[in-house]
Chains A and B, each alone.
Chain A
Amino acid sequence: MTNEARAFGYLTQPEIRFLDAAVARLIPADELGPGAKEAGVTYFIDQQLASVWGSHGRNYRMGPWPAGTPQQGFQSRLTPREIYRAAIREANLHCLRQYGKAFEFLAPELQDEVLAGLENGGVELASLSSKLFFGLLLRNTMEGYFADPIYGGNRDKAGWRLIGFPGVPVANYNDLIDEHNVPYRVEPVSILDIEQGRVALDSQGLPRHVRLKGVGENGR
């Protein structure tokens, strides 16, 4: 991705730095390839927060708002936008009090400790349940790493390359079903690739895949 205009529609600069650091721990860059930060997951989350979903526009939002049982599901009066805003500020306050630094400046091991504390409720936040925030952050990180790159995450199809997901299918999978135990490894094709004219389409609007050689080795 070069010269792509990327307006952050909702997040502030400190929030962006917090999320860059956090998603880099949830899915780290390593010898297997880019992590969530490199894949643009922070930008993806920003776009999701700026969307109808970010204000729970299709969720039922009338009260009263008792907490309910875990089986009754999401009952917070906060929207995802409000959850991220309050939780990031308060998690950073926790880090400042505990370690004298904001989250983004902590060593990776300490960052993992804070994230684990948010996940299991060990780190308490003033305005909301830390588990509520962590659950949303992990869910959005996975979405951003594996959704079509057209949403701004999964940059260069990093998530799909990691697992060997081919993206938009081709028309001849029916012919390949009988090739048992033969890994089908291709250069993944995204909707973004097609939009940007990088891939030729057949008459049904489906791409052709280019098969990769030499993958399926080193344990993947």
Chain B
Amino acid sequence: MTASRLKPVDAVIVGTGIVGSILAKELADAGLKVVALERGRPVDPQHDFAAPYTYDELKYDRHSDIFQDLSRETITFRNNVGETALPMREMGSFKPGEAVGGTALHWGTHSRRLLPWDFETRSRTVERYGKRHVPEDCTSQDWGVTFEELEPYYDQFEHLYGVGGKAGNLNGVIQPGGNPFEGPRSREFPNPPSPMTYAGTMFATACRELGYHPHVNPVAAQTQAYLNPYKLMLGQCLRGGFCSSHACSMGAKANPLTTVMPALAKQANFELRPLSNVIKVNLDSDRSRATGVTYLDARGREFEQPAELVILAAYTFNNVRLMLLSGIGEPYDPVANRGVVGRNYSYQSAGRVNCFFEEKSFNPFMGGGARGTAIDEYNGDNFDHAGLDFFGGAYIAVASSGAMPIRSIHVPPGTPKWGAEWKRAAARYYQRNFTVRLHGACQSYRQNYLDLDPTYRDANGLPLLRMTFDWGDNERVASAWIVKKAEEIARAMNPSRMSAQPTAGHYDIVPYQSTHNMGGAVMGADPATSAVNKYLQSWDVSNVFVIGGSAFPQNSANPPTATIGTLACWAADAIKDQYLKRPGALV
């Protein structure tokens, strides 16, 4: 089939999630003719996600059609190269989105910045503990960009998304009540922190007794009505739960549909084409320049969209897959240990301590977004790792995201999974438990990577992306060690019973963990170990920028979304201020 060739545009953007929407707005504001291609359906949030119909756990958490339709495209997975990768046939461990707005439509709104240390993971670890502290097969590396360089863009993103929180470090001065371990921020959060729940207060009290510095999680579920810099009004979060996995009927969850798209829709030099699935970036004959992209529309017709600038702004998996399908950058080979596309895939480690009480009532259904209370003493390099068999860490938190009844019934250890005894325990403890949770880093390793599957194909006949991944010993040891600290905190709250579960054994794709799939087209200072430079520009094809979770060289403990949005703001400025003035390699 020959593709119909469309009229050329200045910039074509693949995906309309956090990254695609911000890039589209910033480039359209700069006067470029911009087309955004989105594989998912268009959404009318006001009517599609109206109350009370969003308060439906079965529809959104279980069978959601704002998640990726795996019947058309999925990934394959194996724990190691000795196994045959098999398709992820049903949604489990993570939930990429498929709609205008992308995965951010149903994100949990947790908006921590990364620590300054996170951007210099390898060099600072080697500097403080010596080369031998980093496992031999570990490929974690510095980002090629520093926290200081990104700080203004964190600030920009937080104001765009209306993040509520309390500064812990304002221009180097530690602030009471905030997270004293965060990197210096140039100004306060645009919105106030949310008040602590009862469980959060108990956790904070126990933490203070143990000498820690508890603080409230920054969230992008608005803590008050908010007008953002694009002149869009967001509503206040009512803490009614049904948040992560769900779209918000109150317009309180900051996402592309509430923070960017309505402003963009008014611009004549912007066009959104939903149900348009990009299958390839087209390159010129010497493969040094992209000429545009090829996509399939809803009817399966093939179109070529010529463009001067191609922005890959899709989910981690699709950014990497499009690079591999298009032949941009050298594919990673774990045996020869060379190549960059697919290298350094990482995920998010965890750990939990479930705490059960007798004479308490937590009203666990009152919650929203990633509201919660946390400590940062065991995150990154905030503690001395000398004598420990790992580097990196986790923050420890009690979340109150709203306990939905299908997925949030926890019973004490030893309770049967069904029958009269289970029923009694469910009735008694739904209101009387909470979980102290670790949100942990995940280093990158030579043997964890993404490539194209040799066997399984998508509905268009193109190879699926193959994930080869397992936990490293570093993550298992870190999780076990930090879970012990979480147990000490839990014990200080006097639960009648508790049960601890660190990240252990093999990574399992079945239970939901987080949609924090990172890397595969990582940024860096060296083209031998990174696919894009510090401005997210392909080293090989300078008019292609690859922006998103795919750029993380390893995963930090803090959730990635705020940093993904920040990278979008950073790359948008680099394109506007540098690239458009002098197209070509920026580094």
A interface with B by C-beta (< 8 Å): 25-28, 30, 32, 35, 51-53, 56-62, 64, 66, 68-75, 112, 115, 119, 138, 141-143, 146-148, 150-151, 159-160, 162-174, 176-178, 180-184, 191, 194, 201, 204-207, 216, 219-220
B208 at the interface (CB under 8 A from A): no
Query: Which chain B residues border A183 with CB–CB below 8 Å?
Result: 361, 363, 431
**Choice from B51, B57, B422, B424 contacting A147 with Cβ under 8 Å:** B57
Any A CB within 8 A of the CB of B175: no
The answer to whether A56 touches B90 (Cβ under 8 A) is: yes
B321 adjacent to chain A (CB < 8 Å): no
Q: How far is the CA of A143 from the CA of B405 in the complex (A)?
A: 9
Q: For A182, give the chain B residue with the smallest CB separation.
A: B361
Query: Is B124 engaged at the interface, CB distance under 8 Å to the other chain?
Result: no
Q: List 7 A-B contacts (CB under 8 A).
A: A26-B418, A68-B86, A72-B77, A168-B52, A168-B55, A169-B241, A204-B51
Which of B53, B197, B419 is in CB contact (< 8 Å) with A25? B419
- The answer to whether A143 touches B406, judged by C-beta atoms less than 8 angstroms apart, is yes
B70 & A138 in contact (Cβ 8 Å cutoff): no
Point out the residue from A57, A143, A159, A219 that lies within 8 Å of B62, measured CB to CB: A143
B201 at the interface (CB under 8 A from A): yes
Inter-subunit contact B405/A165 (CB<8 Å): yes
Partner of A176, one of B88, B363, B423: B363
- Give min CB distance, B465 to chain A, whole Å: 12
B412 to chain A, nearest CB (A): 14
A26, A74, A151, A194: the one within 8 Å of B52 (CB): A194
Residues of B within 8 A of A180 (CB): 198, 201
Partner of B79, one of A69, A112, A174: A69
Which chain A residues lie closer than 8 Å to B510 at the CB level?
70-71, 73-74
Shortest A170–chain B CB gap in Å is 8
Q: Are B363 and A220 in contact (CB under 8 A)?
A: no
B484 close to chain A: CB less than 8 A: no
Chain B, Cβ-Cβ closest to A25: B419
Residues of A within 8 A of B70 (CB): 58-60
List residues of chain B with CB within 8 A of the CB of A66. 84, 86
| Set of chain A residues within 8 Å of B227, measured between Cβ atoms | none
Please indicate which of the listed interface residues B51, B241, B249, B405 has the most CB atoms of chain A within 10 Å of its own CB: B405
A178 partner residues in chain B, CB cutoff 8 A: 195
The smallest C-beta distance from B306 to any residue of chain A, in angstroms, reads 33
Task: State the majority secondary structure of interface residues on A.
Answer: loop
Q: Is the CB of B90 within 8 A of A204?
A: no
Main secondary structure of the interface of B (DSSP, over half): loop
User: Interface readout for B501-521 with A: 1 if CB under 8 Å, 0 if not?
Assistant: 000001111100000000000
Chain A residues with CB under 8 Å of B325's CB are: none
Chain B residues 441 to 481 lying within 8 A of chain A, measured CB to CB, are 455-457
Given A143-B62, A162-B427, A163-B431; A28-B241 close (CB under 8 Å): no
Partner of A205 from the list B51, B69, B242 (CB cut-off 8 Å) is: B51
Q: Which among B57, B239, B250 is the interface contact of A177 at CB below 8 angstroms?
A: B239
Q: How far is the CA of A61 from the CA of B89 in the complex (A)?
A: 7
Q: Which 9 pairs of residues, A with B, have the shortest CB-CB distance?
A: A169-B240, A205-B51, A163-B430, A146-B405, A180-B198, A147-B58, A183-B361, A173-B239, A26-B418
Contact of A207 among B52, B195, B241 (CB under 8 A): B52
A residues in contact with B427, CB < 8 Å:
32, 162-163, 219-220
- Complex-state Cα separation, A45 to B422, whole angstroms: 21
Chain B residues near A30 (CB-CB < 8 A): 420, 423
Q: How far is the CA of A146 from the CA of B365 in the complex (A)?
A: 14
Which residues of chain B have a CB within 8 Å of any CB of chain A? 50-53, 55-58, 62-63, 65, 69-71, 74, 77-79, 83-84, 86-90, 92, 195-198, 201, 236, 238-242, 249-250, 360-361, 363, 365-366, 405-406, 409, 417-420, 422-424, 426-428, 430-431, 455-457, 506-510
**CA of A183 to CA of B432, assembled, Å:** 10
Contact across chains for B77 and A143 when beta carbons are under 8 A apart: no
C-alpha gap A142/B431 in the complex (Å): 18
Q: Tell whether, in the assembled complex, residue B420 and residue A71 are in contact, meaning their CB atoms are under 8 Å apart.
A: no
A205 touches B409 (CB 8 A): no
- A73 and B509 contacting across the interface, CB-CB below 8 Å: yes
Bound Cα distance from A74 to B91, whole angstroms? 10
How many angstroms between the C-alpha atoms of A177 and B424 in the bound complex? 27
Give which listed residue, A64, A141, A146, A204, contacts B250 with CB less than 8 A: A204
A99 to B14, CA, bound (A): 61
**Minimum distance in angstroms from A193 CB to a CB of chain B:** 9
A28 to chain B: closest residue by CB: B420
Complex alpha-carbon distance, A52 and B249, angstroms: 25
Q: B419, A112: Cβ atoms under 8 Å?
A: yes
In the bound complex, do residue A143 and residue B238 qualify as a contact, i.e. CB atoms below 8 Å apart?
no
When A163-B405, A169-B240 are in contact, do A27 and B423 touch as well, CB less than 8 Å?
yes
B62: nearest residue on chain A (CB-CB)?
Answer: A143
Q: Which of B56, B84, B419, B422 contacts A191 (CB 8 A)?
A: B56
B53 touches A26 (CB 8 A): no
Q: How far is the CA of A176 from the CA of B239 in the complex (A)?
A: 10
Nearest CB on B from A219, distance (A): 6
A174 touches B239 (CB 8 A): yes
A60 contacts B88, C-beta separation under 8 Å = yes
Return A25 CB to nearest CB of chain B, in Å. Answer: 7
From the candidates A58, A162, A177, name the one contacting B366 in the complex (CB within 8 A): A177
Q: How far is the CB of B310 from chain A (nearest CB, A)?
A: 28
Q: Chain A residues near B56 (CB, 8 Å)?
A: 147-148, 150, 191
Instruction: Please give the distance in Å from B497's CB to the nearest CB on chain A.
Output: 15
**Contacts A51-B63, A168-B240, A170-B240 supplied; 14 other A-B pairs, CB < 8 Å:** A58-B65, A61-B71, A73-B77, A73-B508, A73-B510, A138-B418, A146-B57, A146-B406, A162-B426, A169-B238, A180-B201, A183-B431, A206-B52, A216-B361
CA distance A30 to B70 in the complex (A): 41
Complex CA gap A114/B479 in Å reads 38
In the complex formed, the residue of B with least CB distance to A62 is B456
How far, in whole Å, are A66 and B319 apart by their CA atoms in the complex? 28
CA distance A163 to B406 in the complex (A): 11
Distance A119 CA – B418 CA, assembled complex (angstroms): 11
Closest Cβ neighbor of B249 among chain A residues: A205
- Among residues of B, the one whose C-beta sits closest to the C-beta of A178 is B195
